[in-house]
Amino acid sequence: MLALIQAGGAGTRLKSITGDLPKPMVKIGGKPILEWQVASLLRSGIDEIIIVISTKGEAIPSYFGDGSKFGAKISYITETSPLGSGGALCYLKGKVDDDFVLCFGDLMLDVDWKRMIAFHKGKNAKITCFAHPNAHPFDSDLLVTDKEDRVTSIDSKNNTRDYYYKNLTNAGLYILSKDVLESIGEPRKIDFEKDVVRPAVDKGGVYAYRSSEYVKDCGTPDRYASVSEDLANGIISAKNLSNLQKAIFLDRDGTINVFGDFVTRAEMLSLAPTAAEAIRLIDQSQFLPICITNQPVIARGETTFAEMDRIHDRMEDLLGAEGAYLTDLFFCPHHPDSGFKGEVKELKIVCDCRKPKIGLLLKAKEKYNIDLSSSWFIGDTKQDVQTGINAGCRTVLLTTGDPRPNKNYAEAEPTFTTDTLLSAVRRILKEN
């Protein structure tokens, strides 16, 4: 598979660091950003690379040459006039006979491209966007997806959001079908998202590949400093999904949100004190924060799947407002006992996903390549503790959620007990 890297930007916001160098040539950990990208592609067997440069980008071919010293085959497209984020794609017409990667050169990343390619092929997608939650969804364009990961719309950051929304942003990495090139004519300035992605969304050919891997823009001094710190702490490479991951699994009610009656409407949910701070600390670590929750209110007919989506969207919005995000969330809608007014018969089953069974953790394990033995489960009941034990995780019992934590599985013993999610996370991170 071929990769096209857009490296023609001026990088004016990073001038204090780059000087006259193109932004992708700024060094992090002794190597240009662009070299980190090339190395990531090569690890997944993508060794044919085309780099788009501007007329002032001579430093790039001077450093990389034909790519042979890096084990790659590198060629260049020089834009004599700016073609925007998508105009250079016209030069690939007739030159590619398969799908290809598109990457923007100011991103520090470490990605298992093989997993993303497998997703793209499996969906028969025209465009696959690398997608992830971030710490500022309120000022980001967001991808709206269906249950099959198909992108149904793009929620512009300029919209008036008087609704709850999912925290899922487009990271700037893509896999494209060569068919996409048919919509691009002669060389002209094109906005890739506006002129290529959005029309493809309307035709139903765009999918979101949700990943926890490291992809961050280095385009400002503050971001550059943050990425440099992450590299020094080993976080960037550790997040690559070819490596086993560590998760901190989190119960929802009484752990992330305030304990009370079952939440049946979005407006009823409020975050537990310090929960956002705790999750923000996990985000900055090598652990993945993943919510695992039983929600039998659906099976009992007390709320709907649509309203549960609103509830979880509100939770994501409240976390995002405080700079925190969950890697993912998995919930069980089932309930084994019948006899409730308005119950949904098809959901009144004995399933493999209702805690303390570990079906949801196994789904997370498969999706994110998680080593359960290196992971933790935090909750406010012994049922949560038993779930973690069943999965081979270490466990924490919180004392500030459910006032009856021992009502089920009283014999389950946690690794340790503490009061708040924040104190639990601080201890875990200190010991790991």
- Give catalytic residues, as residue numbers: 251, 253
SS3 216: strand
CB distance 155 to 142 below 8 Å:
yes
250: CB partners within 8 A, 6+ apart: 256, 279, 289, 290, 291, 292, 326, 378, 379, 421
Cα dihedral: 177, 65, 69, 45 (round 10): 0
Q: How many CB atoms lie within 10 A of CB 431?
A: 9
CB distance 330 to 323 below 8 Å:
no
Provide DSSP, 370-409. Answer: B-GGG-EEEESSHHHHHHHHHHT-EEEEESSS-S-TTSS-
Give the residue carrying structure tokens 């949100």: 257
How many whole angstroms separate alpha carbon 13 and alpha carbon 5? 20
Provide DSSP, 296-341. Answer: TTTTTTSS-HHHHHHHHHHHHHHHHHTT---SEEEEE---S----T
How many whole angstroms separate alpha carbon 252 and alpha carbon 271? 10
SS3 192: helix
Beta-bridge partner residues of 233: none
CB distance 101 to 4 below 8 Å:
yes
